[in-house]
Amino acid sequence: MKAGELFRGAKTRTDRCIVVAGASGGIGQPLSLLLKASPLIDELALYDVVNTPGVGADLSHISSPAKVTAFLPKEDGMKHAFTGADIVVIPAGIPRKPGMTRDDLFKINAGIVRDLVKGCAENCPNAYLLIISNPVNSTVPIAAEVLKAAKVFDPKKLFGVTTLDVVRAETFVAEITGQKNPAATTIPVIGGHSGETIVPLFSLAKPSVNIPADKLDALTNRVQFGGDEVVKAKDGAGSATLSMAYAGFRFAENVIKAVKGESGIVAPTYVYLPGVDGGDEIQKATGCDFFSVPVELGPGGAKKAINVLKDVNDYEKKLLAKCYEGLTGNISKGIEFIQNPP
């Protein structure tokens, strides 16, 4: 299969087309595998600066319904990959090495996300954009600014993927409670996606969980800095990829199901609050324009931001105060990168 072979010459895309931008990477490959295996997808388009023909050929032998197309930048590959796409998931960029924070990635990843989102604005302005590339706290504001400048910004369709924090919270809580199926407990994790900006709300878990007081600090810290465990264990070979692919797939699947009309789907995600119903109230309470909260998803994307802030306990309020401080700076940094380019 040559790059883009299945698509070249076609005037319209197949029904439900999802693009993975950064498809050859540590996250991109397993995420693409999960998407290829999903019966909800008609076409999976792979885009990366390297290796997509190989990844595409490999995935295309899997006997699931989704067609696979693969593109490189040459021969207008980005344009062909993005044109007519329904959803674009972006895990492109460099990952962390030991000793690095997510913010250290900004210098390289900010430009990568800016250029990919420009490509989306030009070729699939109506697509749902799911941003995985770190630092999410800043790359989502970058995406919003690019879309605004192109006059195609629909805040209901722009999502920062913070699902891995939720997945980690579910897993680490179950290690304490002994719950057999960790994912059966819903635990809101709100704020941002980096260190102390990540705020797990164990008091709002459903069904409720009992975390012994002497374990709460360590558990909270583990959710906030769980990514470091993986970076350290991989010892220079990158950050979370497999768990992130699982999390990214879970969120993408939720968006697809909601767009297809399934109701009652709620997932925490990092959104532009003033543009989402219910977001104004949360924006006022947090002072942050971008924030991850449980969002009800619907056919148009983010249907309603759910204000869980009024229900948090004193312990969580203290965590939130630190979150607001860090997050505000991360958001400004992203906006500044587009409004006053370096």
Q: Which residues bind ligand NAI (CB under 6 A)?
A: 21-22, 24-28, 47-50, 91-96, 105, 109, 112, 115-116, 132-134, 136, 161, 164, 193, 238-241, 244
Residue 203 or 228 having the CB closest to ligand NAI: 228
**Cα-based distances in Å from 96 to 9, 163, 232, 249:** 39, 18, 10, 21
154 is in an annotated binding site: no
222 is in an annotated binding site: no
Residue 120 or 203 having the CB closest to ligand NAI: 120
For tokens 């690095």, the residue is 100
**Spatial CB neighbours of 214, under 8 Å, sequence gap ≥ 6:** none
Closest CA to 230 of 213, 247, 215, 217: 247
Residue 34 or 216 having the CB closest to ligand NAI: 34
**In the 8-state DSSP scheme, what is residue 99?**
T
Cα(305)–Cα(271) distance, rounded to whole angstroms?
Answer: 9
**Minimum distance from CB of 243 to ligand NAI (Å)?**
8
Closest CA to 239 of 90, 69, 94, 35: 94
243 is in an annotated binding site: no
**Cα-based distances in Å from 258 to 21, 88, 301, 308:** 22, 16, 7, 21
Is residue 80 part of the annotated active site? The answer reads: no
**Minimum distance from CB of 92 to ligand NAI (Å)?**
4
134 is in an annotated binding site: yes
Across the strands, what pairs with 269? 293
Residue 5 or 103 having the CB closest to ligand NAI: 103
Q: What is the DSSP string of 200-240?
A: E-GGG-BS-----HHHHHHHHHHHHHHHHHHHHHHTTS-S-
Cα(206)–Cα(86) distance, rounded to whole angstroms?
Answer: 32
4 is in an annotated binding site: no
| Catalytic choice (193, 196, 240, 286) | 193
**Minimum distance from CB of 56 to ligand NAI (Å)?**
13
Residue 104 or 336 having the CB closest to ligand NAI: 104
CB 158 within 8 A of CB 140: yes
Across the strands, what pairs with 171? none
208 is in an annotated binding site: no
**Minimum distance from CB of 339 to ligand NAI (Å)?**
21
**Minimum distance from CB of 300 to ligand NAI (Å)?**
23
Cα(147)–Cα(141) distance, rounded to whole angstroms?
Answer: 10
Helix, strand, coil share of the chain (percent; to 5): 50, 15, 35
**Minimum distance from CB of 102 to ligand NAI (Å)?**
6
CB 303 within 8 A of CB 296: yes
60 is in an annotated binding site: no
Residue 137 or 220 having the CB closest to ligand NAI: 137
132 is in an annotated binding site: yes
Annotated binding site: 22-28, 48, 96, 102, 109, 132-134, 168, 244
Annotated binding site for NAD(+): 22-28, 48, 109, 132-134, 244
The catalytic residues are 193
Annotated binding site for substrate: 96, 102, 134, 168
